[in-house]
Amino acid sequence: MMLKLCVIDDSRIVCNGIMNNIRWAEHGIEPAGTAMDGEAGLALVRRVRPDILITDIRMPRKNGIELFRDVLDLGWPCKVILISGYTDFEYAQEAVRLGAFDFVSKPFLAEEIAAVVNKAKARIVAESEEAERVRGLESRVRESLPLLRQEFVQLLLRVASTPEQTAKRWDFLQLPPAMTDLVVLAVEIDGAEPPAASGGILDIELVRFSLSNILEETVAQATRGIVARDGLSRFALVVNAGPDADATSQLAELCREHVERYSRRTVSIGVGSPAPTVRELPESYRHALAALSYSFFSGGNSVFRYADLADRPADARFQAYSPDSEKELLLYARAGNKTRALEALSAIYAGFDDKRTQVAPDGTAAAFLKLAEALYDVLASAAGKDADARSLAAGELRALRADAPRTLAAWKETLDRACADVCDRIAAERTHESEADIQRSVAYIKAHLQESLTVQSLARLACLSTSYFANLFKKQTGVTVAQFIIAERMNRAKELLAEGKQVQEIAAMLGYEDRVYFSDAFKKHTGLTPSEYRQRISG
């Protein structure tokens, strides 16, 4: 294919040199015009619609960067190559970030220009071929769906049928595998999303069609088989088993590798039990799904054989973690101790990571949901009579049940987040309660300055231990309990002195039995005796 090339530079020598000193026809390039400034260059682009555009950055009327932006606005998909001097290097880099194909620094050789133009041509050809391939895929999706084969295979996987009942239909549909020595492989697209979340039905269909082709080609290279769609994100492969037990496992691994290599997706595969005839296909299919469910632990891109599941201990469900581990987790959660609660949760995870005690996927999910329910119960209990908080906890738990994680890693992330959230909320509530306790204590102190106030008596009123109350009081007020009481008494003493009360009377009103002791305390706090203070404020 011949591609059109335009050159825009305010130097006639540069334009002519690029156009005339390279045998463009030999490169499949047609010289289509030159211009001496950006405005003329834009008009040339509109008229000629080149496939490749070479433009200098520094030009009169409109520079190369402005021209490039105008070309972008036109929507014409040409490859723009910038010519830059040493001082224009940052501009050229910015243009490449905006989508320019490449840049060439001055001075340059004809060979450099030819090389970068050929690179642009190769990109155009590749993009054209890719677009053609996508159009071909879309056409095949519309026109080549073997619905009868798909429906028949779906029926065979779910309803036991004798070879005699099946043979005629099998031959009529020309199913590739022989009717004996079969095995089912269940293939799940990892991380598949609903159409609304993934970009639409057509995107999902293209992904499934592409993966179906890869699986069909891989199976055809190893044995005879058929690839049937099995729901939105799964395929069922019915294949003839190989000469030994490992052959089918090797095929499954090959399918997984090819999908990863030739697409942007990964798959998980479950290998079912052997089906000597079509009668055993439903059992092989059920076993393939059971094996596939273990991708819960790997997170995807893996192969599991049903034959390997028989080695797991029958009582594994009850060995994953002890009741004491759960009690420890909930104890820390009730205390709002996030660090310790997450450590306890990590210890619980260890039992699910160990294959010797690993619970089946559905059991693991059920156990993790039970832990989540227990954590939210702690939060609901801590909320007490707060209906809004209890409703919020219940709503979050309902959302988790409705859209539960699908892998072990996702469950861990969800539980960690829920645990941290529960601890944070409880800690915040306790902080709020503690602040209220201290505010009540402060109000009590101010109202009872005449009484004998101590840390112990105030802690008892707040129903807190003496040390905890003292630490909490200082944390909230910035001073110790004793310092706060003295400060409040002295502030009140100043008010009473201003009102004309006698020192002896003031001392008694503020809980001081000894007038001299009160005067000493007042001077220590203010730097003045009560009499000196009264004189100062009275002028």
Q: What is the CATH number of the domain that holds 66?
A: 3.40.50.2300
Q: Do 255 and 218 meet the contact criterion of CB atoms below 8 Å apart? A: yes
* CA angle centred on 57, ends 54 and 59, rounded to 5°: 100
Within this chain, do residues 279 and 371 fall inside the same structural domain, yes or no?
A: no
Residue 201's Cβ-side half-sphere holds a number of Cα atoms within 13 Å equal to 2
pLDDT at 184: 96
Q: End of a domain among 366, 396, 429?
A: 429
Cβ neighbours for 141, distance < 8 A, ≥ 6 positions apart: 205, 206, 209
The Cβ of residue 428 has, within 10 Å, a number of other Cβ atoms equal to 11
Amino acid (1-letter code) at residue 38: G
pLDDT at 316: 42
Phi, psi dihedrals of residue 230, rounded to the nearest 5°: -135, 70
Within this chain, do residues 284 and 172 fall inside the same structural domain, yes or no?
A: yes
Of 415, 464, 406, the closest CA to residue 440 belongs to 464
Within this chain, do residues 297 and 419 fall inside the same structural domain, yes or no?
A: no
Within this chain, do residues 299 and 339 fall inside the same structural domain, yes or no?
A: no
489, two tokens: 């008494």
Report how far apart, in Å, the C-alpha atoms of 2 and of each of 28, 43, 111, 120, 251 are: 5, 22, 19, 13, 44
In 118-216, DSSP assigns E strands to 180-189
Within this chain, do residues 160 and 274 fall inside the same structural domain, yes or no?
A: yes
Within this chain, do residues 375 and 498 fall inside the same structural domain, yes or no?
A: no
Q: End of a domain among 112, 139, 166?
A: 139
Three-class SS of residue 336? coil
What does each of the 539 residues of the chain score in pLDDT, given as a tens digit? 789 999 999 889 999 899 998 999 999 999 999 999 889 989 999 999 999 999 988 888 888 888 888 888 888 889 999 887 756 667 767 777 778 888 888 888 888 999 999 999 999 999 999 989 988 876 765 554 478 888 899 999 999 888 888 998 888 778 889 999 999 999 999 987 655 455 567 778 888 889 999 999 999 999 999 999 998 899 999 999 877 778 999 999 999 999 999 998 999 999 999 999 999 999 999 999 999 998 988 888 999 999 888 666 544 444 567 788 888 888 888 878 888 889 889 988 887 877 666 778 888 888 888 888 888 888 887 766 666 667 777 788 888 888 888 888 888 998 898 888 888 888 777 766 677 778 888 888 888 888 888 888 888 887 778 887 888 788 878 888 888 888 888 888 888 888 888 888 888 888 888 888 888 888 888 888 888 888 888 76
In a domain, 437, yes or no: no
Q: End of a domain among 402, 429, 456?
A: 429
Q: Residue 358's domain spans which residues?
A: 316-429
In a domain, 110, yes or no: yes
Three-class SS of residue 360? coil
Within this chain, do residues 152 and 282 fall inside the same structural domain, yes or no?
A: yes
> What is the domain count for the chain?
4
pLDDT at 472: 79
pLDDT at 274: 93
